[in-house]
Amino acid sequence: MSTPSAVPRTAPIAIAPKPPRFPPSRQGSINLDPYYPGLRNGFDSPDSDSINGHPTPPCEACLRRRLDCVMSDDEEACVGCQVSGTECSLVDSPPPRKRKLNGDAEDSHSKRSSPGRSDNRRRRHHQPSLSSTAASSSLIEEMANFGGPTMLKRTLGLQSDRYSQYIGPTTDFEPSLINLSSFDPHDESLLARGTLRRVSDNDTFLMLPDANTPGYEHVLEDSDAIEAIVAPYGRELIDLYFRIVHPGFPIIQKTVFYEKYERSYREFSPPLLAAIYILAINWWDHSDELAPLPRPNVRELERYMRTTLADAMYRPKLSTVQAGLLLSQRPEGDQWAPTAQLVAISQELGLHLDCTTWKIPPWERGLRKRLAWALYMQDKWGALVHGRPSHIFSSNWAVQPLNPNDFPDVEWDENDTEDRIEIERGRTLFGQMVHLSQILAEILETFYTLQATQAVASAGSQGTQLVLSLAKPIQLKLKEWHSGLPASVRMDSTFQSSSTPPSRLSSIGYLHLAYFATEITLHRRIIRSIDAATSASPAVGGTVDPYIQHICRSAAKARLISAMDFVNRLTPSHLRSFWYFASKTNFALIGTFGSLLWATSPGREEADWYRRRLGEYRWTLSVSSKPGEGKGLTEFAMGMLDITTGLLKQLPEKPLLSRSGSAVDMDAARRQSLLALGGSGGGGMSTVPSISALSGMSGMSGMESYSGLLSGEVSGVASPRSPTSESSDEGMYGSFATAGMAGLAD
C-alpha cells in the first residue's frame, strides 16, 4: 500500500451511462440520493411532517452539505447541525406547522410529531425485534447509518460521513475527564476537536468528519471508474465472489451487500468494491456467461485498489479492514507490510476490544468479531509464512470467541438445501481455522520468538529436553483440535464425494493444509534442536540419546507422509476452490520439511528415501498445477522445492547405514538402557520404565514431558491417513510406537 501521492491519479475514466452532474451551487459535495434513496423517499412521503404535503425547507448548513434536514426532538436545532456543532439557521425561524399522522390515535393529542419520530414508529411497526438476522440487518443498517433521531442512532464503524478513532488509556484524552463530559441520549458529546462517542462505560471513540481527509473528493469518481472497468459484468462477479469465496471466508454481510448493490454500487467504499472484483476474476472461467468473454483489466483494478485503500486509511472504517483482508487473499497479495497497516487500522477502530456489551447494532457486534478474528488469522499466518514477529499479543487482545449469533441467521435460499449446507460448512470452517490459528500463535510464541530461541540456546545440552517439554501441551492441543473436528469439515467426507459436480467447490482443503503446516512448524523446531545437539562437540554437551532421536525423527517422518498423502488425494473440486492466502506457502512447507529431514538424516539410505519421496511430491504438485486447478498454489511450492533440493546437492556424502541395521541398533540401545535402569528387557518392547527412572537416562530431565508428546504422536488421530496409501515405513512406526510407548501416556 502506498500513500495517496505515491500513485498519481489519472484523468477520470469516461463511463456509460455518465453520472448526473451536480447543480453548480452544489459542486464538490457528495450527493446522498444514491446512498439512502429509500430513506429520502420515505421522508418525502405524505406521512412526513410538512405543510400541505411539501417537505420542510432545510437549513442553510444542511443545504450546503446536501443532507436531509431533520429537526431534533427538542427542536432547538436540526440533528445535522447538532452533530457537527454548526449554528442552525432554523433556530430563529418560526417552526413550520406540522400536521398529525393519519390514523395515529396515540399521537392525536401530541403537540408536534417530528419526521424522525414518525419514520421511526413505522420502522418499529415492521420490525418487532432488533436481532442480528440478515433479514433485518439491512433495515437496521439504514436506521443506524441515517443521521436522524433513531433508537440505534448510527453505527460506529460504518458511517457514511464520519470515521472513528479509539481513545486509548494513555492518550491526551484523560478517561476521568471524558466521563465528566455531557453526553446526549445518543451517547455523543460535541467538543472542539470532534464528537465523543461513548459505547460503554470504559470505551470511548472520537468521531471525525470524512470531508477533512485526503482523497475524499475522489470517492464517487473512483467508484465510477472501478465499476466502469468491469461493466457490464459487475453483478456476475459479485455472484462469483459469494458463491466461491464468501462461504470459506465470511467477513461480509451477504444479504445486506446484495441489497445495497441493487440500489447503487456507490454505497460501497471503492477499495472494498475493487477487492471483491479482483478476487472474483480469478474464477472468471467458472461462469458460463463470462468464460467466453475477455477478462477485465485486473492491473488497472489493482492500481485503483492501492490508491483508494491508501486514501481510505486516512478515514478508516470496517470496510477498510474488509478491503485489506480481501486484497491479501489474492494470489500475490500476501505481503507483510500491509498486514502491519491492517493491524494498526483495526486498533484504531477498536477491533481488539470486547464489543459484547457496546451500544451498537447487534449485527455490527457480530461483524466486528468476525473481522477481528480474520485479522488475527492474517497476522499469525503472515508471521509464519514471512518469518516475522507477530503484531498481535494476547495481553492486548480481548475479543471473545465466535458463536453462532455472530453470523447472520439467514444467508441462503430456503429452497436450496445445498446452498445452506455450504454456508453452514463455511462458518464451521472459519471458526475451526480461528481455533487452529490460536494454537499456531502459541507455537510461534513458545519456539520462534527471539527470547524463546535464546532460551533454548542457553539451555545447552538440555536444549532438546526443554523443547520437548514445551511441545507436550501444544501437541495435545493439536490432537484435541483434530479429534474434535465436526463431521462437516472432516476431509474424509469430501474425499469420498468424488462424484460431486465440479461446479460445487469446497474450500475445506485450506483448513487441513493449515493443520499440517502447524504440525510441521512444531516438529521442525524439535528436529532442529536435535540436529544442533548432535552436531555440537561432546565437550559442550553435544549428545542426544539415540533412542530419543529415533523416536522424534520417526514421528516427524509420519507427519511428512501424512501431509504428502493429503496433497496427493486432493480433487479438482478442492483445488479450484478458494484457498486461504497462506496456502501456497503451506504447500511449500511440506517440501521444506522433507528437505530438512533429508539434510539431517544420519545415514545415506534414509537420505535417499527422503530424496525419492520429495521427487514423488514434486510430481504430485505438477499434476495439481493444471490450468484452473490451484496453479498458483502448487507452482510456488514446486519452485521452492527445486531451490531446497538444489541446495541439498551441496551436502557432504553421508555414511552408509542400512535402515534395518538402524532399527536393530535402536532396539538394542533401548534394551540396554532399560536393563541398566532395572527394567525387564524381555517380552519385546512392552515393558516401560517409570517416569522417574527415565529421567535418569543421559540427562533426560525432560522425558516426562516428552512422554506426553509421544502419546499424541502415536495415537493416529492427529493426522488423517489413507489406508490404501499407507506406506510400510509408516506402518512400522505405528506398530513400533504403539507397542513400545503406549504406556508412557499414563
Write the pLDDT tens digit of every residue in 168-208. Answer: 999 988 888 888 888 998 899 999 899 999 999 999 999 99
229 pLDDT band (50/70/90 cuts)?
Answer: very high
State the pLDDT at residue 664: 41
Percent of the chain surpassing pLDDT 90: 48
User: What average pLDDT does range 134-156 have in this prediction?
Assistant: 47
State the pLDDT at residue 75: 56
pTM higher than 0.75, yes or no?
Answer: no
State the pLDDT at residue 537: 54
Going by C-alpha positions, the residue among 398, 382, 361, 380 that lies closest to residue 150 is 361
408 pLDDT band (50/70/90 cuts)?
Answer: confident
Residue 31 has pLDDT above 90, yes or no: no
76 pLDDT band (50/70/90 cuts)?
Answer: low
Please indicate whether residue 254 or residue 44 has the higher confidence score (pLDDT): 254
Residue 249 has pLDDT above 80, yes or no: yes
Residue with cell 475477455: 294
Please indicate whether residue 85 or residue 396 has the higher confidence score (pLDDT): 396
Residue 63 has pLDDT above 70, yes or no: no
149 pLDDT band (50/70/90 cuts)?
Answer: very low
How far apart CA 278 and CA 288 sit, in angstroms, is: 18
User: What average pLDDT does range 130-140 have in this prediction?
Assistant: 41
Q: Residue 609 in contact with residue 654, Cβ under 8 Å?
A: no
Residue 88 has pLDDT above 60, yes or no: yes
Residue 125 has pLDDT above 50, yes or no: no
Beta bridge partners of residue 196, listed in sequence order: 189, 206
Residue 133 has pLDDT above 90, yes or no: no
Residue with cell 481510505: 312
Q: Return the half-sphere exposure (C-beta side, CA atoms, 13 A cut-off) of residue 199.
A: 26
Residue with cell 465440479: 502
Please indicate whether residue 268 or residue 626 has the higher confidence score (pLDDT): 268
Please indicate whether residue 657 or residue 309 has the higher confidence score (pLDDT): 309
Going by C-alpha positions, the residue among 142, 333, 308 that lies closest to residue 225 is 308
State the pLDDT at residue 656: 77
488, burial (CB in 10 Å: exposed 0-12, middle 13-18, buried 19+): middle
Residue 565 has pLDDT above 70, yes or no: yes
State the pLDDT at residue 390: 96
Residue 737 has pLDDT above 70, yes or no: no
Please indicate whether residue 89 or residue 598 has the higher confidence score (pLDDT): 598
Residue 120 has pLDDT above 60, yes or no: no
Residue with cell 439491512: 138
How far apart CA 132 and CA 470 sit, in angstroms, is: 42
Residue 735 has pLDDT above 90, yes or no: no
State the pLDDT at residue 160: 83
Please indicate whether residue 714 or residue 417 has the higher confidence score (pLDDT): 417
Residue 32 has pLDDT above 70, yes or no: no
Give the number of other Cβ atoms within 10 Å of residue 209's Cβ.
17
Cell numbers given for 244: 466461491
User: What average pLDDT does range 83-106 have in this prediction?
Assistant: 51
Residue 134 has pLDDT above 70, yes or no: no
State the pLDDT at residue 240: 95
